[in-house]
Amino acid sequence: MQQVEIDHCLSVAAIGSLLQGLAMIRPKEPCESPSDKERMRKEISIAAEGNAFEKGVTEFGDYTPFTCPECDGVLIRIREGANSRYRCHTGHAYSGTSLLSGIAERIEAGYWSVMRSLEETAMLLDDMSGVLVADEENEIASALRKEASLAKRQSKRILAMALEQGQAATYVAAGANKPKR
């Protein structure tokens, strides 16, 4: 709803009669240019079959500095009036809001991956230090315990960042942009 103007906003009780009236109106001929029709035909083909690059996706708009959250492909900005949408060279497609949401989700996943790696590192270092203590290698064991402690502190900081990012992703997914009225 953020990408279009709303034609009607009414109560549930009034929807039926509006739909009945709209069904009686003969639709206008689309005012698409031949180039718009060709682009739409290509985009439908890309969505159904892939091969976006071969089908000329780069001709639809301008390259952006953004990358696709799914495949890291270069994104093309396709302008349609006041709105923009994005498509990568492999064919993934996004509105501005869905792109922002995809990027936020990817950032959050990265945080969780780093946190898990730090926790595993801390557990391994603790395990290794225990073996070294049993072998009376106390100096090295102490150094490993310090490293494990550092990894645990870093993991907690990353956890806080992941939780903050999760809140931001939820906000974006809920529609940070309000619909046009």
Write the pLDDT tens digit of every residue in 103-140: 988 998 999 999 999 999 999 999 999 999 888 889 99
Share of the chain above pLDDT 90, in %: 36
Q: Tell me the HSE value of 40 on the side-chain side, using a 13 A CA sphere.
A: 8
For residues 135 and 8, what is the distance between their CA atoms, to the nearest angstrom? 78
The CA radius of gyration of the chain, in Å to the nearest whole number, is: 26
pLDDT of residue 172: 59
Across the strands, what pairs with 93?
A: 87
The tokens for 170 are 């939820």
pLDDT of residue 80: 83
pLDDT exceeds 60 at position 177: no
For residues 8 and 181, what is the distance between their CA atoms, to the nearest angstrom? 10
Write the pLDDT tens digit of every residue in 45-82: 777 777 777 777 778 889 999 999 999 988 999 988 88
pLDDT of residue 168: 64
The tokens for 118 are 């730090």
Query: Domain residues of the chain, as ranges?
Result: 34-91, 108-173
Return the ∠ at Cα 65 (arms to 90 and 3), rounded to 5°.
75
Cα–Cα separations (whole angstroms), residue 16 to 5, 7, 22, 25, 97 = 21, 15, 10, 15, 31
74-80 β-sheet, strand order: 62-67, 74-80, 83-88, 93-95
For residue 84, the SS3 value is strand
The one-character DSSP state at 25 is S
For residues 25 and 99, what is the distance between their CA atoms, to the nearest angstrom? 36
